[in-house]
Chains A and B, each alone.
Chain A
Amino acid sequence: MRTINQFFSKIREINQRYAKPTVEMSRGVKFSLAVLRIYLFLLVVLMIYKFITVIKVL
Chain B
Amino acid sequence: MTLNECNASPFSQSQCRVSSTSNLTDMDFFSVLYYRFKKVWKAVRLYLVIAGPGLVVMIADNDAGGITTYAATGAKYGYHLIWFLLLLIPVAYYVQEMTVRLGAVTKRGHAEAIFESFGAFWGWFSLLDLMIVDWLTLVTEFVGMTAALSIFGVPAWLTVILVILLMSIIVLNGRYWTWEKIALGFCLLNLIYIPAAFMVNPSISDIVGQGLIPNLPGGLTNELFFLLMANIGTTIAPWMLFFQQSSVVDKGLQEKDIKMGKIDTFIGSIITVAIAIFIVIVTGTLLNGAPIDDAATAARLLMETNHYIGAFMAIGLFDAGLLGAICISLASSWAFGEIFGWAHSLNTKVKEAPWFYISFIFTLATAGVVPLIPGAPLVLITLFVQVVAVTLLPAALVFLILLLNDKKTMGEYANTRLQNIVSSFIVGSIIILSTMYGVSALFPNIFQ
A→B interface (CB under 8 Å): 10, 14-15, 18-24, 28-29, 32-33, 36, 39-40, 43-44, 46-47, 50
B→A interface (CB under 8 Å): 115-120, 122-123, 125, 339-340, 387, 390-391, 394-395, 398, 402-403, 405-406, 408, 435, 438-439, 442-443
User: Chain B residues near A10 (CB, 8 Å)?
Assistant: 340
Partner of A47, one of B125, B339, B387: B387
Partner of A14, one of B340, B387, B398: B340
Residue from the set A10, A23, A43, A50 with the largest chain B CB neighbour count within 10 Å: A23
User: Chain B residues near A18 (CB, 8 Å)?
Assistant: 115-116, 119-120, 123
User: Chain B residues near A46 (CB, 8 Å)?
Assistant: 439, 442
Query: What is the distance, in angstroms, from B403's C-beta to the closest C-beta of chain A?
Result: 7
Query: What is the distance, in angstroms, from A12's C-beta to the closest C-beta of chain B?
Result: 10
Given the known A-B contacts A15-B120, A18-B116, A40-B391, are A24 and B398 also in contact in the complex, defined by CB atoms under 8 Å? no
B406's nearest neighbour on chain A, judged by CB, is A23
In contact, B408 and A24 (Cβ under 8 angstroms): yes
In contact, A40 and B395 (Cβ under 8 angstroms): yes
Does more than half of chain A's interface fall in helix, strand or loop, or is it mixed? helix
| 27 contacts across the A-B interface (CB closer than 8 A) | A10-B340, A14-B115, A15-B120, A18-B115, A18-B116, A18-B119, A18-B120, A19-B120, A20-B119, A22-B117, A23-B117, A23-B402, A23-B403, A23-B406, A28-B402, A28-B405, A33-B118, A36-B395, A39-B394, A40-B125, A40-B391, A40-B395, A43-B390, A43-B438, A44-B391, A46-B442, A50-B443
Given the known A-B contacts A36-B395, A47-B442, are A23 and B390 also in contact in the complex, defined by CB atoms under 8 Å? no
In contact, A50 and B442 (Cβ under 8 angstroms): yes
Report the Cα distance A14→B406, complex, angstroms: 23
Residue from the set A18, A29, A46 with the largest chain B CB neighbour count within 10 Å: A18
A35's nearest neighbour on chain B, judged by CB, is B398
Query: What is the distance, in angstroms, from B86's C-beta to the closest C-beta of chain A?
Result: 30
Query: What is the distance, in angstroms, from B288's C-beta to the closest C-beta of chain A?
Result: 35
Report the Cα distance A37→B179, complex, angstroms: 38
Query: What is the distance, in angstroms, from A22's C-beta to the closest C-beta of chain B?
Result: 5
User: Chain A residues near B439 (CB, 8 Å)?
Assistant: 46
User: Chain B residues near A39 (CB, 8 Å)?
Assistant: 394, 435
User: Chain B residues near A40 (CB, 8 Å)?
Assistant: 125, 391, 395
Report the Cα distance A8→B443, complex, angstroms: 38
Report the Cα distance A43→B391, complex, angstroms: 7
Residue from the set B390, B394, B402 with the largest chain A CB neighbour count within 10 Å: B402
In contact, A21 and B118 (Cβ under 8 angstroms): yes
In contact, A22 and B116 (Cβ under 8 angstroms): yes
B112's nearest neighbour on chain A, judged by CB, is A18
Report the Cα distance A38→B401, complex, angstroms: 19
Known contacts A23-B402, A40-B395; 9 further A-B pairs (Cβ under 8 A): A14-B340, A21-B117, A21-B118, A23-B117, A24-B408, A32-B402, A39-B435, A40-B125, A47-B442
User: Chain A residues near B408 (CB, 8 Å)?
Assistant: 24
Residue from the set A21, A24, A40 with the largest chain B CB neighbour count within 10 Å: A21
Report the Cα distance A28→B116, complex, angstroms: 18
Given the known A-B contacts A18-B120, A23-B406, A24-B408, are A36 and B398 also in contact in the complex, defined by CB atoms under 8 Å? yes
Query: What is the distance, in angstroms, from A32's C-beta to the closest C-beta of chain B?
Result: 6
Closest 10 pairs between A and B when the two form their complex, measured CB to CB: A23-B117, A21-B119, A18-B115, A18-B120, A15-B120, A50-B442, A21-B118, A22-B117, A22-B116, A23-B406
Query: What is the distance, in angstroms, from B117's C-beta to the closest C-beta of chain A?
Result: 4
Query: What is the distance, in angstroms, from A3's C-beta to the closest C-beta of chain B?
Result: 13
Report the Cα distance A20→B411, complex, angstroms: 21
User: Chain A residues near B398 (CB, 8 Å)?
Assistant: 32, 36
B115's nearest neighbour on chain A, judged by CB, is A18
In contact, B119 and A14 (Cβ under 8 angstroms): no
User: Chain A residues near B395 (CB, 8 Å)?
Assistant: 36, 40
Report the Cα distance A21→B446, complex, angstroms: 39
